[in-house]
Amino acid sequence: MPLFDSFALQFSNATAIGLANTGAQLVITESALNITGAAPALTAAELARLAAAGQTVVAYVNTSVTDAARNYWNPAWVTPTDPAEPDVGVVNPGAPAWLLNNLGGVDFAPEPNGAPPADEAIRVDYRNADWRALVIAQAVAQVQAGYGGVFLDDVGQYFTAGFRSGTYDPTFADAMMQLVIDVAAAVREVNPAAKVIVNSGVFIGGDSSGGTGGALFTAYKAAIDGVIIENQFSTEATSTPVLSAALAAYPGVSILALESLARGVDPGHLTEFAGNHPGLLTYVVPNERYDSFVRTPLLGSASADNLVGAADFANLIGGLDGNDRLTGGRMNDSLYGHAGNDSLLGGAGGDTVDGGAANDRLYGGVGADVLSGGSGSDALYGGSGNDTLRGDAGNDRLYGGAGADHFVFTRDTGNDHVFAFTQGLDQIDLQDFGVSSAQVLAALDVVRGSIVLDLTELGGDGSVLLVRQTNLAAFDATDFIL
């Protein structure tokens, strides 16, 4: 049984109030205890209050990569090639052995605008005894200061290091696992309940000398409490599904999927996947600066759930199966009903509301909302604000409300009804059809007191009925988005 049921991560601008408001059992953060000239992010009293409230706060420690901001760093060790990266350049003779015998540069992210790769740090020889002692000392200091454990970053660097000679050397995986085991033992001498979370390294067991059945990997799994996996949900559609592999390889360990909206993750698909895979925890951030907390996702069950988001957070809520009621707060929320006849209420803010399968009722509320009915016969209410409404498949009813609303129809749209369409303000989006305004205007007719747009004349399947609209002559190309 995994230890945690939710997690959050933030490396800067962290406050005790912010941590508490995430609602997460596990919080990963930067303590700043070993950053030169920085004040501690949290006091011992604040950490004690968070622990008493049921939150485990673990502090950042790197296992294998340099950081010139840390207080162990001596600027004389490296002559930088770029002043912006003071720990990257020519390593000088007086540097410690773990730096002199380094395992290459590290480029964490592609450079913007197609610029050539540029190293951002140095991968140290983490097999070196002095480096290992340094890592252990940093970890112990965090727990002595009141943190509930440590987050060991860059465990996965063993893999690139293992190929330094051209042919993979499994002893680099062995050395990394032993380092993690030694850190875990050291922090638990200070606090027997201290938790150890590692970043990446899902396949480290198979990459080690003893394999997944070896004694070292068994000890490694026993030493850790969680594995963070960054931006790997997309691999679930490939032959190497990383999240699924982690769930299978680490029973009893919390598997933490950290995903970024900037990387294009689909929150709806992610929450559905997480709901169907017990033991997988998710946390979705706007970008990878990790400088602000978001609320941990709320996930439903196979039953009828009533899920209410926090008022002042951007909530991510997934109803899963059952006839659910999902309610957002005052920020920009994302609500996904999934299966069942659901009611989704976005509230204030610019919300994303997706009904999913079955017959749903969607309410945008105040703000510029995006409502998608999904399959089934749905009712969509935009509310105030400039909303976008998509009925999707099925015979849907769309109510734009106040504001300049867009009603989006595609080739698989059913027979939809649009209520209170304001000609000259609202617009009908038919971009999926690839037709001209002349073709659209020719497909309009008045039938029994309402204007009907016959989508079959445009290559689609259904129709759009503009309820109580009869002034066909007033419509022109400006009423449509093509």
430 and 407 in contact (C-beta within 8 Å)?
Answer: no
Mutual orientation of helices 171-190 and 129-144 as an angle, nearest 10°? 30
Distance CA 76, CA 93 (A): 10
Distance CA 30, CA 290 (A): 10
Reported as type and span, the H/E element at residue 336 is strand 334-336
Record the pTM: 0.86
444-447/450-454 β-pairing: antiparallel
406-408/78-80 β-pairing: unpaired
Give the pLDDT of the chain (482 residues) as one tens digit per residue. 568 989 999 888 888 988 888 889 999 999 999 999 999 999 999 999 999 999 999 999 999 999 999 999 999 999 999 898 999 999 999 999 999 999 999 988 766 666 777 889 999 999 999 999 999 999 999 999 999 999 999 999 999 999 998 999 999 999 999 999 999 999 999 999 999 999 999 999 999 999 999 999 999 999 999 999 999 999 998 999 999 999 999 999 999 999 998 888 999 999 999 988 988 999 998 888 888 777 778 888 888 989 998 888 888 999 988 999 999 988 899 999 999 999 999 999 999 999 999 999 999 999 999 999 999 999 999 999 999 999 999 999 999 999 999 999 999 999 999 998 998 999 999 999 999 999 999 999 999 889 999 999 999 989 999 998 889 999 999 999 99
Tokens of 135: 């890592």
Residue 216, classed as helix, strand or coil, is helix
432 and 382 in contact (C-beta within 8 Å)?
Answer: no
Going 136 to 78 to 114 to 158, the CA torsion angle's sign is: negative
